[in-house]
Amino acid sequence: MKEITQVSSRSCRTAALLITLPLLLAGCTSAVGENSKSSDKAEAQASVKAPALVFAPPKIDSANNRPLPLDKYLVNPSQQSIIDKAYKKLVSTCMARFGFEYKLSTYQGQRDSDAPTTRVSGHYGHQNSKLMAKWGYHPEGGAPINQSSSGTSIPKVTPNQKVAELGTSDPKHNFGPGGQVIHGHTVPNHGCIGEATKRLTGTVDGKLLDPQIAVNVNFKTMYEARQDKRTKSVFAKWSLCMKDRGFNYKDPLAAISDPEWQKSSNPTAHELKVATTDAACRHKENVVGIWYAVDYAYEEQALAANAAAMAKVKANLESKVRIATQLMANNG
């Protein structure tokens, strides 16, 4: 009988692959910096001068249907989906050689119907006034109910399963060199996770999604754009608009991240009032138009400063997507 195993948080690569963030907040930059490799840090140094705008700020309420320079260098939702499917198939196929039926747990973050298709992150938060009036700062359809206590038991992972998956049974190491023989088959380097990752990226420890240099540049430009005096100026106008209507938030990000919204799976009447006012004040001050124009300029500046590294990032991304697409088309 085949045994069944499920992956939990054993591999950061797997977790990262399965999570879609609707909004990347500036507070995450510290975590990114802590995990950066020295070679990546050197290529993403802080900008000295604020860039000139590439174009005049458009009068818009939403930038979700507009491109950003980094879009071609970062995994978008459709690319993430095909890489995810190919990775799961490769790991499952590998584990089957050792007699294990392997299931990877999946969490797909909710995306609103107006979410951008060219990037995973929604830089500017909720922008659709109709959705905000109905769902506030919650995802469209409401927040998912926690299924962790549904009573479904997680199959116990045997030592051989762990060896086949990771190439080691040593709890002190995330992965091992493999070489063990299970049911007549030799475990590959870094186990089946390593084999799948190597097939898609060329190395057992390759990046399935965005490499650190791309993550650094993305977070850095978002942070810089939010700190730019042009963005801060329109945020201040937005804040005054909100205050005139009875709500005290320093900027749109503060309204989005109000912990009050996390207390229920659906928006409260108060949340809907705040979100509706937020949308009106954004429109009045052209918050998204100015924010988008500034963001665009910082991304172009960063790409120029990291041209060689980002060209490599783009080539590697295109290669991963091509391999994943072929794997799924040919049934692995």
Residue 64 domain-assigned (yes or no): yes
Residue 114 domain-assigned (yes or no): yes
Residue 39 domain-assigned (yes or no): no
Q: Please, are residues 238 and 244 in contact by the beta-carbon 8 Å criterion?
A: no
Task: Report the distance separating Cα 198 and Cα 175, nearest Å.
Answer: 14
Digits of tens for pLDDT over the chain (332 positions)? Answer: 444 444 433 333 333 332 333 344 333 433 333 344 434 443 444 445 899 999 999 999 999 999 999 999 999 999 999 999 999 999 999 999 999 988 876 656 678 888 999 999 888 999 999 999 999 999 998 876 554 444 455 667 899 999 999 999 888 899 999 999 999 999 999 999 999 999 999 999 999 999 999 999 999 999 999 999 999 999 999 999 999 999 999 999 999 999 999 999 999 999 999 999 999 999 999 999 999 999 999 999 999 999 999 999 999 999 999 999 999 998 64
Residue 262 domain-assigned (yes or no): yes
pTM score > 0.95 for this model? no
- Positive or negative, the CA dihedral 171, 172, 175, 180 is negative
DSSP string, 216-272: HHHHHHHHHHHHSHHHHHHHHHHHHHHHHTT---SSHHHHHT-GGGGGSSS--HHHH
Task: Report the distance separating Cα 132 and Cα 134, nearest Å.
Answer: 5
Residues 302, 44, 194: CA angle, nearest 5 degrees: 110
Nearest C-alpha neighbor of 87 from the set 177, 211, 3, 209 = 209
Residue 140 domain-assigned (yes or no): yes
Look up residue 251 and give its two tokens: 């900027």
Q: How many folded domains does the chain comprise?
A: 1
Our measurement of the distance from residue 170's CA atom to the centroid of its chain's CA atoms, rounded to an integer in Å, reads: 30
Residue 14 domain-assigned (yes or no): yes
Task: Report the distance separating Cα 95 and Cα 192, nearest Å.
Answer: 6
Residue 36 domain-assigned (yes or no): no
Domain containing 288: what range? 3-20+48-329
How many CA atoms lie within 13 Å of 59's alpha carbon, on the beta-carbon side? Answer: 2
Place of tokens 């409260």: 268
Q: Please, are residues 298 and 225 in contact by the beta-carbon 8 Å criterion?
A: yes
SS3 of residue 117 by DSSP: coil
Q: Please, are residues 4 and 102 in contact by the beta-carbon 8 Å criterion?
A: yes
Residue 128 domain-assigned (yes or no): yes
DSSP-derived letter for residue 28 is: G
Task: Report the distance separating Cα 157 and Cα 104, nearest Å.
Answer: 13
